[in-house]
Structure 1
Amino acid sequence: MSKLIDLRRTFQEGRKLPINSLDQGILQSWQRCAGMGLSMNAHADYQRLEGRSLERLLNHNSALLHAARPHMDRLYDAIAGAGWSALLTDCQNVAIHTLHSQRMDDHRIASAFRTGALLGEAEIGTSAMSCALADKRFTRVYGFEHYNEFHRQFHCAATPILDPQGHVCGALDITSASPDASEGIFLLLQQCARNIQTEMIRQLDQARILMLGFEPISGLTPDAMVIALDEQGDLIAANLLASQVLGICLQSRQSIPFEQVFDTPLSRLGHSTQQPCLLRLHNGVSLYAMKGQRAAASVSSGHTNDFSGSSENPISFGDSAILVGMNKALRVIDRLPVLVLGESGTGKEIMATALHQSSPAASGPLISLNCAAIPENLIESELFGYLPGAFTGASKQGAAGHLRDADGGTLFLDEIGDMPMALQTRLLRVLETREVAPLGGSQSYKVNFQLICATHKGLPELIERGEFRQDLYYRINGFRLTLPALRQRQNLLTLAQGILAELAGTRTPRYLSEELAAAIQAFDWPGNVRQLKHALIYADAMAEADEPLTLADLPDELQDVLCEFQSSSTPLNRNDTASPNQLDQHNLRLIEDTLQRFDGNVSKAAAHLGIARSTIYRKRSRPV
Structure 2
Amino acid sequence: MTIQPDPARPRADAPGDAGHERAELIAQAHQRSESYGLRPYESPDFCPVLQSELKTRIERSQSLFTYALPVMETLHDQIVDTQSMIVLTDADGLILHAMGDDDFLARADKISLRPGSEWSEARRGTNAIGTALAENRATLVHGADHYLEANQFLTCSCMPILDPYGKTVGALDVTGDQRGFHKHTMALVRMSAQMIENQLFGNAFRDMVCIRFHSRAEFLGTLVEGIVSFTPGGRFLSANRSGQFQLGLSNGALQAHTFSSLFGLSMSQLFDAARAAHAGIVPLHLPSGVKVSARVEWKTPAAALSGGTEARHAGAGGATGIPRSLAAGPAPSPGLDELDTGDAQIRTVIGKLRKVIGKDIPVMVLGETGTGKELMARAIHADSGRRAGPFIAVNCASIPENLIESELFGYEEGAFTGARKKGGIGKMLLANGGTLFLDEIGDMPLHLQGRLLRALQERAVSPLGSSKVIHIDVSVVCATNRNLRDLVASGQFREDLYYRLNGLVVRLPALRERSDLDVVAGKLLHQQHGGGAAGADNHAPRISDAVMALFRRYHWPGNIRQLGNLLRTAQLMAEGEAEITEEHLPDDFLDDLREAQAQAPAAAPGVAMAQGMQPTRLAEVEAMAIVATVKAHNGNISAAAKALGISRNTVYRKMEEARGLPQQSG
Normalization by structure 2: what TM-score?
0.47
Normalization by structure 1: what TM-score?
0.50
Structure with larger RCO (C-alpha < 8 A, sep 6+): 1
Which structure has the bigger radius of gyration? 1
